[in-house]
């Protein structure tokens, strides 16, 4: 049984009210963490505080961390799961859909890290885990905006790892493949079966697979790991 102890630690999760983010949140609470969610939805879960927040709105993000700063001395971990898709081949992609995906997936991640920094610097073991995608590494038909945002997130994370290392803050990336969430359930069966057939293990990932990886990267067991991209995809990328 894989277990971690996050007792006494404060961890922020964006997009933590549903999907992979919710699974990570539940795992963190089960391991003793106090979790603060930034999302457009709210959940009722003991040990969790929710802030309704559009991560692409700098004033909204700044206000959340100002409130947290009035309550906490430090944030020990940040997991960024907030993300959206607006799929289309790039020559038919509306400018609005390009902007929206880049705003949430990339600009939002930048803004949250930026305003979380003062509290992360207060921790002696600060760790950031950003959720990208294997499509940010390889591209994906019909996902020019999404792939670009997730590739940009990898570049942002590697840069942040370099800039934050002397504060003792680690920054890593998880790049999932197909993960069975309610969002994926809405996809045509052909798309899901094709993605599963691509994988070496012949199965899709579950949210729990990503959660275990996120908890490891947040933990002291990963204290010498920073600037890395961990693919959790059952071999779909290869």
pLDDT digits 0-9 by tens, 193-224: 888 898 999 998 999 999 999 999 999 999 99
What is the distance, to the nearest Å, from the Cα of residue 151 to the centroid of all Cα atoms in its chain? 13
- Could you tell me which residue, 189 or 118, shows the higher pLDDT? 118
Indicate if 237 belongs to the active site. no
Q: What is the pLDDT of residue 38?
A: 98
pLDDT band at 190 (very low <50, low <70, confident <90, very high): confident
Q: What is the pLDDT of residue 155?
A: 98
pLDDT band at 1 (very low <50, low <70, confident <90, very high): low
For residues 135 and 191, what is the distance between their CA atoms, to the nearest angstrom? 14
Question: Is 129's pLDDT higher than 70?
Answer: yes
**Mean pLDDT computed over 59-80:** 97
Question: Is 191's pLDDT higher than 90?
Answer: no
Average confidence score pLDDT of the chain: 95
Handedness of CA 201, 196, 208, 233 (dihedral sign): positive
Q: What is the pLDDT of residue 181?
A: 85
DSSP string, 90-155: GGG--HHHHHHHHIIIIIHHHHHHHHHHHHHTTSSS-EEEEE--THHHH--TTBHHHHHHHHHHHH
Give the domain ranges of the chain. Answer: 10-232
- Could you tell me which residue, 13 or 189, shows the higher pLDDT? 13
Handedness of CA 180, 184, 187, 192 (dihedral sign): negative
Torsion of CA 224, 229, 234, 238, to 10 degrees: -130
Q: What pTM was computed for the model?
A: 0.95
Q: What is the pLDDT of residue 193?
A: 86
Active site residue: 38, 77, 146, 199, which one?
146
For residues 104 and 99, what is the distance between their CA atoms, to the nearest angstrom? 9
Q: What is the pLDDT of residue 231?
A: 98
CATH of domain 10-232: 3.40.50.720
pLDDT digits 0-9 by tens, 94-125: 999 999 999 999 999 999 999 999 999 999 88
What tokens were used for 106? 């990339």
**Mean pLDDT computed over 44-65:** 97
């Amino acid at each position: 049984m894989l277990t971690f102890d996050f007792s006494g630690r404060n961890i922020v999760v964006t997009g933590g009210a549903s999907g992979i983010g919710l699974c990570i949140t539940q795992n963190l609470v089960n391991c003793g963490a106090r979790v603060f969610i930034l999302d457009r939805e709210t959940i009722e879960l003991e040990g969790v505080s929710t802030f309704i927040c559009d991560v692409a709105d700098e004033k909204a993000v700044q206000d959340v961390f100002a409130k947290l700063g009035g309550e906490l001395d430090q944030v020990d971990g940040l997991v960024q799961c907030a993300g959206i898709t607006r799929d289309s081949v790039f020559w038919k992609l509306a400018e609005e859909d390009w902007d929206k995906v880049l705003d949430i997936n990339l600009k939002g991640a930048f803004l949250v890290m930026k305003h979380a920094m003062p509290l992360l610097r207060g921790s002696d073991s600060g760790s950031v885990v950003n959720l990208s995608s294997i499509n940010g590494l390889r591209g994906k038909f019909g996902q020019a905006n999404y792939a670009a945002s997730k590739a940009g997130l990898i570049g942002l994370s590697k840069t942040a790892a370099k800039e934050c290392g002397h504060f003792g803050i680690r920054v890593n990336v998880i790049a999932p493949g197909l993960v069975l969430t309610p969002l994926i359930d809405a996809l045509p069966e052909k798309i899901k079966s094709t993605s599963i057939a691509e994988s070496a293990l012949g199965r899709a990932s579950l949210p729990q697979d990503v959660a275990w990886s996120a908890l490891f990267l947040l933990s002291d067991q990963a204290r010498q790991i920073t600037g890395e991209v961990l693919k959790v995809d059952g071999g779909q990328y290869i």
